[in-house]
Each structure stands twice: as C-alpha cells, then as structure tokens.
Structure 1
Amino acid sequence: MAHFTVIGLGRFGVSASMELIYLGHTVTGVDRDAKIAEKYVDDFTQVMICDSTDENALKELDLINSDAVLVAIGEDMESSLLCILALKKIGVKEIWVKASSRAHHTIVSKLGVARIIHPEEEMGVRVAQALNYPMVNDYLSIGHGLYVVEIHIKPQLDGRPLGDVLDPAKGKVDAVMVKREQETFLQLDKKFVLKEKDILLLCGPRSELKHIAPRLA
C-alpha cells in the first residue's frame, strides 16, 4: 500500500483519487476551495484545504512522505506551474502533472517532473483504438513499439485452438494470459482451446496485432 497526494479536486483529480483508494492505497486530497474539499471528506483518506501555490502552506502537508504527488489543477496553468515549483523547492521527488495544453506541457517538461499526463488526449486515443479495433476491450503501450491488448473471446472463436488465432503473426505476438471465470491460465501453447467469454491478453507490435485483428472480430 502506498500513499499519494492529489492536488486539485476537479473531475480528473477525484477520479484518479477514487481509483487509487479502490486499489488499496491511501490518498490525501488537496484543494484551495473549502466547499470542494468538504465534499470529499468522507471519501478520501484525508482532505486538506490549502493554497497549493504557497510554498509555506505546502510544507505543512508533509508531502515528502507521499510516494507521489499528482498535480491535477485544471485550466489554471499559472497555478499549476507555481505549485510544481513550490513542490520542487520543498524536495518532492515524484511529481506527476496533468497538462491542459501543449504550451503547458512544454513548460512543465522543463521542470523535471516524473510524468506529464494529457487525460483528454489519452482518452481520445483509446476511443479511436476502440472504434478501429472493436474486438479489443483495452490496450496498454509498454514501450519499444509493443502493446498489450485485452480481447474478449466471441462465440465464433469458441472451441478454436490459440494457434489458429496467432498463426498469421508468425511468432511475433505472444499470448500472455487467459482469464476464464475464476481460473487464470498462464502456460499457454498453440493447442490451448479458447472458450466464449474468455479474456485473452496478447502482447506484440501494433502492426502484427492489427494483422491478426480480423480473426478476432
């Protein structure tokens, strides 16, 4: 279990916080608006009212003990940048930032933060991928041109061996796991028989995943 601090309790900040709590972590939520902060007193591990652009005020929050601080301040780029600078001055190492624009991203990238997030852009990419490959329930880029995709097995693939599905990829796509109700299968070979409603995780280059997509539709 880790502890995170989320600064800015708009929709993005609250959504990220709730998911972290669901995953078993503790979260301190921070917002300068008392009415907003008070809304989430019962949902967060802790909620603090604080002007996040004030270095002295941030020092009082003991942020050094957070595993990461997420700056989720919305469209107010100036407040976001001042908050980041204050966090750097007090010694916070792991800073994640929501960027609201390309200009925001460009400036933040010069400040040495751990990660910059574009929620709308990233969600737009996911929607486009879902529209382009409707058989893919979810996907994750793991770098070096590799992707992990989640496939829900349709009725037409029921009873088919895994090798039939992966054969066109010629060994360039690997089956990582199959989840079947309460069972998980990790040792998968070409003879493994798929069943309807199985959840199949595949890993490989996007071009090869695209190549076998028609067999998964």
Structure 2
Amino acid sequence: MAQFAVIGLGSFGATVATKLAMLNHDVIGIDSNKKYVETFSDQLTHAVIADATDEHVLKELNIQNCEAVVVAIGEDIEASILCVLHLKNMGIKKIWAKAKSQAHHMILTHLGVNKIIHPEEDMGNRVAQSLSYPMVSRYMGLEDNHFIVKIEIKKSQQGERFHQLMSHVPEIKTILHKRGKEVSYNIDPNLIMQEGDILVVEGEIEPLRKLSARWFK
C-alpha cells in the first residue's frame, strides 16, 4: 500500500483518486472547491479544501511523503503550472500532470513532469479504436507503433481452429487464451474457438488492421 496525492477533484482527478483508494492505497484529495471535497471525503483517506498554488499550504499537507502526486487541475493552466513548480521545489520526484493543450504540455515537459496526460485525447483515441476494430475490447499502446489488445471471439469465428484464425498474420504474437477461468499460454494450434473466448495478442497496427478486416469483412 502506497500513499498518493491528487490535486484537483474534477471528473478526471476524482476518478484517479477514488480508483487508487479502491486499490487500498492512502489517497489525499485536494481541491479549492468545497463541494468537490465534500463529495469524495468518504471515499478518500483525506480530502482537503486547499489552494494548491500556495507552496506553504502544500508543505503543511506533507505531500512530500507521497509516492507520487497527480496534478489534475483542469481549466486553470496557470494554477497547474504554479502547483507543479511548488512540487518540484519541494523535491517531489514523481509528478503526473493533466495537460489542457499542447502549449500546456510543452511547459510541463520543460518543468520535468514525469508523465503528462491528455484525458480527452486518450478517451477519443479509445473510442476511435473501438469503433474501427469491433473485435478489440481493450488495448494498450506500446512504443514503436506496437499494441497489446484483448480480443473477444464472436459467434462468426466460433468453430474455427486457432491456427486458421491467426495463420494469415504471422507477425502477431498471441500472449494467452482464456476460456472461462482457464488461462493458457501455450496454445494448441488445433484449439477450436468458442464464442466468448478471449485472446490477448501483441503486434503492430497494420497486421492488427489486417486481422480486423478478415474477421469483420
């Protein structure tokens, strides 16, 4: 169990804070808006009404002892930048921050923020991927245009053998097959697919598109 601080309890910050709390971490939620703080006070370890642009206030909250701090301040770019500057001055090494624009992103980069997040852009990408590739229920982007994707076998693929499904895309690596609670990492090429089976595969975007085109032509 680790301790985290989330500064800004709008929709994005509140989601991060409550999910961390659900994972049994200690979470300090900070916002200048009393309504937001009161809304999530029962779900977080500590919920504090505070001005995150005041370095003295941040020091009094002892967030320098946190594993990481997430700056989820939304519309006020100046407040976000001031907050990050104070955190850097306090010696906090792991800072994740939400960026509202490319200019905001560039400034946060120069300030040495470890991870910069664009929630709306990331969600847009996920929606577009889901619409383009109905077979993909979840995906994770890696470097160099590689993705790990979770594929659910549909009724139209039921009865096909595993090697028949994947033989035309040898570039794609299958990581695991899941049926119910049973997970297999060494998959029999003659395994007959059933509706609801899960495949987790890894590959570049073009072979994944090829796979999608074959399954949903």
TM-score (norm: length of structure 1): 0.94
Counterpart CA distance in 1 for 2:21 and 2:181 is 24
**Number of positions where the alignment pairs a residue of Structure 1 with one of Structure 2:** 216
Counterpart CA distance in 2 for 1:201 and 1:51 is 44
Q: What is the CA distance between 1:44 and its match in structure 2? A: 1.0
Q: What's 2:151 paired with?
A: 151
Q: What is the CA distance between 1:83 and its match in structure 2? A: 0.1
Counterpart CA distance in 2 for 1:79 and 1:64 is 19
Q: What is the CA distance between 1:211 and its match in structure 2? A: 1.1
Q: Secondary structure in 1 aligned to 2:142?
A: strand
8 A contact 1:153–1:216 mirrored in 2:
no
CA-to-partner distance for each residue in 1:171-216, whole Å, 9 max, x for gaps? x111112222222222224223321111211101111111111333
Residue type of the partner of 1:191?
N
Residue type of the partner of 1:113?
V
Q: What's 1:116 paired with?
A: 116
Counterpart CA distance in 2 for 1:102 and 1:7 is 21
Q: What is the CA distance between 1:75 and its match in structure 2? A: 0.5
Residues 112, 190 of structure 1: alpha-carbon distance in 2 compared, 3 angstrom cutoff: same
1:25-36 aligned within 5 A: 25-36=25-36
Residues 24, 176 of structure 1: alpha-carbon distance in 2 compared, 3 angstrom cutoff: farther
* Correspondence 1:141 to 2:141: yes
Q: What's 2:51 paired with?
A: 51
Greater shift, 136-145 or 95-104, is seen at 136-145
Q: Secondary structure in 1 aligned to 2:9?
A: coil
Q: What is the CA distance between 1:36 and its match in structure 2? A: 1.9
CA-to-partner distance for each residue in 1:106-137, whole Å, 9 max, x for gaps? 11111001010000011111111111111111
Q: What's 1:191 paired with?
A: 190
Structure 2 residues not aligned, in runs of 5+: none
Q: What's 1:207 paired with?
A: 206
Counterpart CA distance in 2 for 1:158 and 1:35 is 51
Q: What is the CA distance between 1:30 and its match in structure 2? A: 0.7
Residues 128, 112 of structure 1: alpha-carbon distance in 2 compared, 3 angstrom cutoff: same
Counterpart CA distance in 2 for 1:194 and 1:25 is 39
Counterpart CA distance in 2 for 1:166 and 1:70 is 41
Q: What's 1:5 paired with?
A: 5
Q: What's 1:23 paired with?
A: 23
* Correspondence 1:41 to 2:41: yes
Structure 1 residues not aligned, in runs of 5+: none
8 A contact 1:148–1:202 mirrored in 2:
yes
Counterpart CA distance in 2 for 1:63 and 1:216 is 50
8 A contact 1:157–1:195 mirrored in 2:
yes
TM-score (norm: length of structure 2): 0.94
